[in-house]
Amino acid sequence: MTGVGLFYVGAVLVVNGLMLLGRITPQGAAPLNYFVGGLQVLTPTVVIVQSGGDAAVVFGASGLYLFGFTYLWVAINANAGWDGAGLGWFSLFVAVAAIGYAWHAFAVEADPAFGVIWGLWAVLWFLFFLLLGLDLGSLAPAVGVVALVEGLLTAAVPAFLIMAQRWPTGVAPAIVIGVIGAATVVAAIPLGRLLAAPAPAISPQAAAAAVT
């Protein structure tokens, strides 16, 4: 994944995290999901077409579709009003695939930092599966926290450093990213309660109508 593409993945994860925290409506988040989803489908297609069959290039581009399809699906669901079950089960597929890409980053690319990043993406997409595939709506604020933090930790900040040619891949950044990511997952439920948008006040008339 190029630094430019990764940077906008960070942006859409932050926006989707805010959506799950109730700070943005699904319709309000849809345009960026369309933009980034389209980018993450078009870019690997062009790369693969121009790769000349180079297996390493094709493999490197292949993972982008996992995210492009996710963001396009989020946008379509928001506009069409479809339920999220299909996206949830696709997210389980993404989570399992991300484990494979994490292994490849560690074992083949010798890039432990991106190995950890892929691992954290596997965790996030598994949370999307719990939220949407298993309809555990109470997890929405917690998943929103994880998405927001990972948008910065695993995408926007690394992408900026990559574009600035200051990305220090190695064991040390892998440990830092892993510790922050794990701490976020552990603290996600209380942080979600703290950061979620307050429920709208119910008027006396609406309350009376609800009990009659």
At 128-162, the pLDDT tens digits run 999 999 999 999 999 999 999 999 999 999 999 99
Distance CA 195, CA 149 (A): 12
pLDDT, mean of residues 194-205: 70
pLDDT at position 210: 38
What type of residue is 61?
Answer: A
Answer whether residue 3 shows pLDDT above 90. Answer: no
Overall fold of domain 3-196: 1.25.40
* Phi/psi-derived region of residue 100, left when phi > 0, alpha when psi is between -120 and 50, beta in every other case: alpha
pLDDT of 209 higher than 60: no
Nearest to 185 by CA among 147, 130, 134, 138: 147
Q: How confident is the model at residue 202 (pLDDT cuts 50, 70, 90)?
A: low
Per-domain boundaries in the chain: 3-196
CA distance 98 to 117: 9
Q: Provide mean pLDDT across the span 9-13.
A: 97
Whether residue 91 contacts residue 125, with contact meaning beta carbons closer than 8 Å, is answered with yes
Residue 70 CA to residue 48 CA, distance in Å, equals 20
Structural contact between residues 187 and 49, judged by C-beta atoms closer than 8 angstroms:
no
**Between the CA atoms of 6, 115, 145 and 37, what dihedral angle is there, to the nearest 10 degrees?**
30
- Distance (Å, whole) CA 131 – CA 136: 5
Q: Cβ(129)–Cβ(91) under 8 Å?
A: yes
- Give the per-residue SS3 of the chain: CCHHHHHHHHHHHHHHHHHHCCCCCHHHHHHHHHHHHHHHHHHHHHHHHCCCCCHHHHHHHHCHHHHHHHHHHHHHHHHHCCCCHHHHHHHHHHHHHHHHHHHHHHHCCCCHHHHHHHHHHHHHHHHHHHHHHCCCHHHHHHHHHHHHHHHHHHHHHHHHHHHCCCCCCCHHHHHHHHHHHHHHHHCHHHHHHHHCCCCCCCCHHHHHHHCC
Tens-place pLDDT, residues 30-84: 999 999 999 999 999 999 999 888 998 899 899 999 999 999 999 999 999 888 9
Q: Which amino acid is at 41?
A: V
